[in-house]
Structure 1
Amino acid sequence: MNTLEKLGAFNVWANDTVLNRLDEIAASGQEIPAVVLRLFSHVLNAQAIWISRINGVPSPVKVWQEHDLPTLHRLHEQASDPLHQLMVNADETELQRLISYTNSLGDSYDSLVHDILTHAVVHASYHRAQVATRLRDHGFEPVNSDFITYCRELSAAAQTAVPSL
């Protein structure tokens, strides 16, 4: 697995991890803070927007469009794994392809697919950290969605899968 593929798999895991924590909060009968839903909506919206830009199709969402928890689950399915699949399936020619797009402020840019895919994961990590901070601010224990935590879990799972002699 190359670095970009690993980052894509990490991003799916991290989004799953955050969603599972939000599910726990909702299942406990407590309200998920609106700021948390807003920030995590932005994470998934941004992924969907970048996928649309790469594929040259209109975005299904707006950058700061807000979603409830069931919609976040659906958007995660529509954005996180497809983003990872773009990373898995992109060859060097695709990674070096220049994408022209207009951002949410109306500014035009050109970016390499490789840079966009890398940015999508870095951007999501930044906002997942904000989600963790806001959860803590509202009295909830956040989850650890760090890349190294994902790597440790991946390593532990691989060791468990190896039969002993």
Structure 2
Amino acid sequence: MKVFFNQLFDYNFYCNKGLIKECSELDKVPERSIELFSHILNAHDIWNSRSLNRKPKFEVWQIHDIKHWEDIHYENQRSSFEIITNASDFDKRIDYETNEGRLFTNTLGEILFHIINHSTHHRAQIAVDFRSNDIDPKSLDYIFYKR
């Protein structure tokens, strides 16, 4: 499982780093894309924090200046790799409270997979937002990454 999750998080790192670079080179990044990418970064931190039983650094929809994206992204990835490296059981149950105050339990493996899936979902929304703003998004398909 560790190898599988390390591969997924390598891919996630590659995609987010590419998107950060792309946005940094644009004259104007669409506001919705800034909101969505900030949300990707925030959610990643929140899920890492839940896995580590610590308080998140960010709110769910907190907006970040593009110049801070790379540092936040790097710290999220570092933390996820640390979680994966130190995991002895991906079926370990993690209890957490949502932002609405509801209590849930999921396995560590489910949470890690959710981080990847959630990021992919919102990167796709950013690609749609780019297209609607006449920006040609780079392809971030997993199979292209693996080639």
User: What's the TM-score bracket when you normalise by the shorter of the two chains?
Assistant: over 0.9
| C-alpha distance in structure 2 between counterparts of 1:5 and 1:77, whole Å | 15
Distance apart, 1:2 and its partner CA: 2.3
Matched, 1:64 2:65: no
Distance apart, 1:12 and its partner CA: 0.6
Percent identity among equivalent residues?
Answer: 27
Distance apart, 1:110 and its partner CA: 0.4
Aligned pairs for 1:1-150 (under 5 A) are: 2-25=3-26, 30-87=27-84, 89-93=85-89, 95-150=90-145
- Bigger Rg, structure 1 or 2: 1
Deviating more after overlay: 10-19 vs 71-80: 71-80
Secondary structure at the residue paired with 2:69?
Answer: helix
CA contact (8 A) 1:48 1:79 kept: yes
| C-alpha distance in structure 2 between counterparts of 1:2 and 1:111, whole Å | 21
Secondary structure at the residue paired with 2:104?
Answer: strand
Alignment-mate amino acid for residue 129 of structure 2? R
Give every structure 1 segment of 4 or more consecutive aligned residues whose post-TM-superposition deviation is greater than 3 Å.
Answer: none
CA contact (8 A) 1:12 1:84 kept: no
Task: Calculate the TM-score normalised by the size of structure 2.
Answer: 0.93
| C-alpha distance in structure 2 between counterparts of 1:81 and 1:149, whole Å | 24
Indicate the residue corresponding to 1:156 in structure 2: none
Task: Calculate the TM-score normalised by the size of structure 1.
Answer: 0.83
Task: Structure 1: give runs of 5+ residues left out of the alignment.
Answer: 153-165
Task: Structure 2: give runs of 5+ residues left out of the alignment.
Answer: none
Indicate the residue corresponding to 2:146 in structure 1: 151
Alignment-mate amino acid for residue 12 of structure 1? F
- Paired residues in the alignment total 146
Alignment-mate amino acid for residue 132 of structure 1? A
| C-alpha distance in structure 2 between counterparts of 1:21 and 1:14, whole Å | 10
Secondary structure at the residue paired with 1:110?
Answer: strand
Indicate the residue corresponding to 1:157 in structure 2: none
CA contact (8 A) 1:12 1:81 kept: no
